[in-house]
Amino acid sequence: MTHPRIAFIGAGSVEFTQGLLADLFAFPELKSARVALHDIDAERLATAEAAARHIAGERGADARVTAHPDRRASLAGADFVINTVQVGMAEATRTDFAVPARYGLRQTIGDTLGIGGVFRALRTFPFLKGLGEDIAAVCPDAWLLNYTNPMAMNVQYVTQATGLTRVVGLCHSVYWTLRDLAELLDVPYDEITYRAAGVNHQAWVLRLEHRGSDLYPRLDELIAREPQLRRRVRMDMYRRLGYYPTETSEHSSEYVPWYLRHDSEVERLRLPVGVYLDMTDENVAAYHRTRDALAKGAPLAVEGTMEYAPQVIHSVVTGTPRTIYGNVPNHGLIDNLPAHGVVEVPCLVDASGVQPTRAGSLPPQLAALNRTYLSMNDLVVRAALDDEPRHIRHAAMTDPATAATLTVREIWRLCDDMVRAHGDLLQPSLRALLADPADG
Which 3-state string (H, E, C) describes 176-241? HHHHHHHHHCCCCHHHEEEEEEEECCEEEEEEEEECCEECHHHHHHHHHHCHHHHHCHHHHHHHHH
**How many CB atoms are closer than 10 A to CB 303?**
10
409-419 burial code (b ≥16 CB/10 A, e <16): ebbbbbbbbbb
State which amino acid sits at residue 85: V
Q: Cis peptide before 364, with omega less than 30 degrees from 0?
A: no
The answer to whether 355 and 349 are in contact (CB under 8 A) is yes
Instruction: Kindly give the pairing relationship between strand 143-146 and strand 80-83.
Output: parallel
Residue 422 bears catalytic tag:
no
How far is 88 from 391, CA to CA, in rounded Å?
22
Of 3, 172, 210, 262, the catalytic one is 172
3-state SS assignment for residue 385: helix
Asked if 209 contacts 191 with a C-beta cutoff of 8 angstroms, the reply is: no
Q: What is the C-alpha separation between 367 and 177, in angstroms, rounded? A: 20
**58 φ, ψ (degrees, to nearest 5):** -65, -35
Instruction: Write the burial class of residue 371 (CB in 10 Å: 0-12 exposed, 13-18 middle, 19+ buried).
Output: middle
Cβ neighbors of 374 (< 8 A, separation 6 or more) are 152, 199, 337, 338, 341, 342
Q: How many residues in total does the chain contain?
A: 440
Residue 256 three-state SS: coil
Decide: 312 and 144 in contact? Cβ < 8 Å.
Answer: no
What's the rounded Cα separation, in Å, for the pair 253 and 370?
14
Angle at 178 between CA 173 and CA 182, to 5 degrees: 150
Helix, coil or strand: residue 46: helix
For residues 38-74, b (16+ Cβ closer than 10 Å) or e, as one string? bbeeeebbbbbbbbbbbbbeebebebebebbeebbeb
Catalytic residues: 172
